[in-house]
Chains A and B, each alone.
Chain A
Amino acid sequence: SNNICFIHLGATVLGAYIFIIDQAEQFFRSGHTNNWAVLVCTSRFWFNYRHVANTLSVYRSVKRLGIPDSHIVLMLADDMACNPRNPKPATVFSHKNMELNVYGDDVEVDYRSYEVTVENFLRVLTGRIPPSTPRSKRLLSDDRSNILIYMTGHGGNGFLKFQDSEEITNIELADAFEQMWQKRRYNELLFIIDTCQGASMYERFYSPNIMALASSQVGEDSLSHQPDPAIGVHLMDRYTFYVLEFLEEINPASQTNMNDLFQVCPKSLCVSTPGHRTDLFQRDPKNVLITDFFGSVRKVEITTETINLQQGSEIMESSYKEDQMDEELMEPLKYAEQLPVAQIIHQKPKLKDWHPPGGFILGLWALIIMVFFKTYGIKHMKFIF
């Protein structure tokens, strides 16, 4: 019995050890329950085709890895697919010789054309949206959401241009993220930016749990990848092109981590030096899976019960008969006449409601009358009354 006790004790100790390791692993695994993505293209005009292609490539990857349209806020500042200058309408290509159409057949653009402004972007991030905004245009994240934010366009040292008419600065962006942190709108945030001097945009972040990647350092330009002679513009930027190639090899079950993403597009391929920032992030990047941000958490419970759906049919028959009896009593209805000329000619125009004169007009007339009587004396009153 001693032996059995000993084995029992050994097994318990072993079990406890494994349990502690398991718990430790759980602790370092991400605690998110849902994934969101905000993908922004800030450039207008046909020659900035590549920025729209960048954003749509990331959109495509993110959808493929499992994030649904209802959890993606896609903002495209201009329409390239149905642009009159596009020789292949309803397509946006990301490879030369038109190999990969990233526009596809099932794209949902939430903010488009003139709606892509700095104000709308910040409102989406912070959640301060007018109450009548539809659900598809809102970022309904909570404190267990992992959010991917991807921005592309033309930028400089400390700012990003929106549609060539306004800019967002790195300080505004950092403050917006801090608002999100204080309102508990994210669990972890991955910020990727593909513009010239992109690293300047993440310099000012100060909120926790943010990891940032940029396509170039301060003082460097991000370059475009390849022009297509048939379409006549550059199709993609280098950094996003190689990121897309990297993402095409990821599937929802893959275990690739962030360190691999940091290695994408070295200087030899990109000409600029991509940068990243992980000091605000609590976990070690090598423990962070790509699918933590680009994919979607799906908890599926499989059940073996069957549910029978046949009950409803008898009720329908009875209530339909009641419907029929009810309506027989109404009198026949008719369609409206489309152009009743006689009626239109003789209709009186709607009189505008009479509004009493405003304070300004009253004050002006009072002043005039006062001046008149002061000049000419009160004796003129008798000619009025």
Chain B
Amino acid sequence: MAAAMPLALLVLLLLGRKGWCLAEPPRDSLREELVITPLPSGDVAATFQFRTRWDSELQREGVSHYRLFPKALGQLISKYSLRELHLSFTQGFWRTRYWGPPFLQAPSGAELWVWFQDTVTDVDKSWKELSNVLSGIFCASLNFIDSTNTVTPTASFKPLGLANDTDHYFLRYAVLPREVVCTENLTPWKKLLPCSSKAGLSVLLKADRLFHTSYHSQAVHIRPVCRNARCTSISWELRQTLSVVFDAFITGQGKKDWSLFRMFSRTLTEPCPLASESRVYVDITNYNQDNETLEVNPPPTTTYQDVILGTRKIYAIYDLLDTAMINNSRNLNIQLKWKRPPENGYIHYQPAQDRLQPHLLEMLIQLPANSVTKVSIQFERALLKWTEYTPDPNHGFYVSPSVLSALVPSVVAAKPVDWEESPLFNSLFPVSDGSNYFVRLYTEPLLVNLPTPDFSMPYNVICLTCTVVAVCYGSFYNLLTRTFHIEEPRTGGLAKRLANLIRRARGVPPL
């Protein structure tokens, strides 16, 4: 036993000198980050990114030592000679109008696009086998990808990583819009992470919170990147991204206060020991405007400023690897609070009761300058009782005009008027201070076309019914109840005798 060990050591050393086939150096690094963005509509978007960079040439055969880079994906790259792989699973749709532009959007369902190396001879065969293998890894129906839903884009989907020449023959793209995303897709995605869901930012990834969202998108991106600034050698980069949008109304009564615990039902406790960088970025662009509407707790020590997606943004940085951050309370729960609600107003609404009272809607709004404010109400048209229609129902029904009572700021300050001295046109409304004047405006009345019944219908119905009854029922009644009896012909009356007389006289046979 003791003699065997040095012998084994010797053998290993000899093999090591010959080539690289025994063990690759573990030069891989992990960076993880979470970006929390309060959205204009009051919701909150959270984007996780886990990046594993592996300084290795995977084209060579015999790689067998995997450390942070997951073996399942590493074997895929070498077996199918991949240059790039992008796979995403999404549930929901990113509403750019309400939420602003996304970092990285993905189509609903599953999307897979792959660039193969130019050494691949049969791209379609590799594509089919690759989608089958991925369906086993991610528990999804990617095996339904075949020639009927695969295309080869000729101008878009250029490689996102290093590329010398781009012959689009080696690109394949497919989307399965019917694909559902659920825990069985999230679990293998989490297992690809070096710290799985045990430490670092991935402890926040709990399925029961992540799927209770308006938008959920998880993706895997593999591409070759530059290893250093001179870009003389290649590293493989694996990025796993997960974006979710938490809805203000689903997860808490419309209030816009957010915290990590409220979003994920967990807080951050320790960084991932395998990560070289582990940070949380919070978008505080609205922090310093408008009387400090957004408050972040705990207060950030460092910030990051840059132009992101066309606008200047400021982010607060919370570094989990900074020992001062976690040591204070053993866990980190970032809270966002709106100190002053963005709009204050008054709304009074009294719904209508049929044939008793009408709708009443009263709103106090502060109109921002140089803007257009639209107020809209949805309504449904209903049918009235036929006696409630006016004699000319096709004219339509009138809705009373809306009233706007406004205090408009004056350009020039006015002095208070004496009602007896000034002309009558200046004393219509009492004015308290001269900085603004009161005005009451009305809109046009609204003429609504209600669905009008056909008032001749009762008459038509009565005619038709009576005809049917008379013809059908009457005939049947007669057939069933009429009896026939033979009638003896009468022997003749007075008129007939007279007629016979005249006929005898003429010589014509009698009646």
Contacts and interface: CB of A to CB of B under 8 A. Distances in A.
A333 B182 contact: no
B404 interface: no
Given A114-B144, A327-B232, A82 B180 contact: yes
The 4 closest A-B pairs by CB, nearest first: A134-B136, A315-B16, A82-B182, A336-B163
Nearest to A338: B158
Nearest to A319: B20
B187 A105 contact: yes
Given A81-B183, A82-B181, 10 more contacts: A82-B91, A89-B211, A104-B183, A110-B136, A112-B139, A114-B141, A133-B143, A315-B22, A317-B25, A335-B226
Contact of A105 (B15, B163, B206, B234): B206
Interface stretch (B6-14, B284-292, B311-319, B492-500): B6-14
Interface of B: 5, 8-9, 12-13, 15-17, 19-20, 22-27, 57, 91, 128-129, 132-133, 135-137, 139-141, 143-144, 154-156, 158-164, 166, 178, 180-184, 187-188, 206-208, 210-212, 226, 230-234
Interface of B is mostly: loop
Given A132-B132, A315-B12, A332-B230, A79 B137 contact: no
Contacts of A311: 8-9, 12
24 contacts: A82-B180, A82-B211, A90-B208, A104-B183, A106-B187, A107-B187, A109-B139, A109-B184, A112-B141, A114-B141, A132-B132, A133-B136, A134-B137, A312-B22, A316-B26, A318-B17, A319-B19, A319-B25, A330-B232, A333-B226, A335-B161, A335-B163, A336-B163, A337-B158
A344 interface: yes
A115 interface: yes
Contacts, number: 150
A332 B5 contact: no
Contacts of A107: 183-184, 187
A104 B186 CA distance: 12
Contacts of A2: none
Residue from B137, B160, B183 having most chain A Cβ neighbours under 10 A: B183
A144 interface: no
A88 B250 CA distance: 11
B16 A327 contact: no
A134 B72 CA distance: 12
A89 B208 contact: yes
A105 B207 contact: yes
B20 A137 contact: no
Interface of A is mostly: loop
A323 B20 contact: yes
A308 interface: yes
A322 interface: yes
A113 interface: yes
B114 to A, nearest CB: 15
B123 to A, nearest CB: 14
B180 to A, nearest CB: 5
B206 to A, nearest CB: 7
A132 B180 contact: no
Residue from B143, B159, B206, B226 having most chain A Cβ neighbours under 10 A: B143
Given A135-B136, A333-B231, A336-B158, A319 B181 contact: no
Contact of B136 (A137, A327, A335): A137
Nearest to A105: B207
Contact of A347 (B9, B136, B154, B180): B154
B384 to A, nearest CB: 35
A311 B486 CA distance: 130
A339 B132 CA distance: 31
A355 interface: no
Contacts of B139: 108-110, 112, 136
A336 B128 contact: no
Interface string A331-366: 111111111100010010110000000000000000
B217 to A, nearest CB: 13
Contacts of A119: none
B129 A319 contact: no
A327 B140 CA distance: 39
Nearest to B188: A108
Contacts of A108: 139, 184, 187-188
Contacts of A335: 159-163, 226
Given A82-B180, A82-B182, A134-B136, A90 B154 contact: no
Nearest to B5: A308
A43 to B, nearest CB: 16
A334 B164 CA distance: 7
A134 B133 contact: yes
Contacts of B158: 336-340
Contact of B154 (A113, A136, A339, A350): A350
Contact of A134 (B132, B184, B234): B132
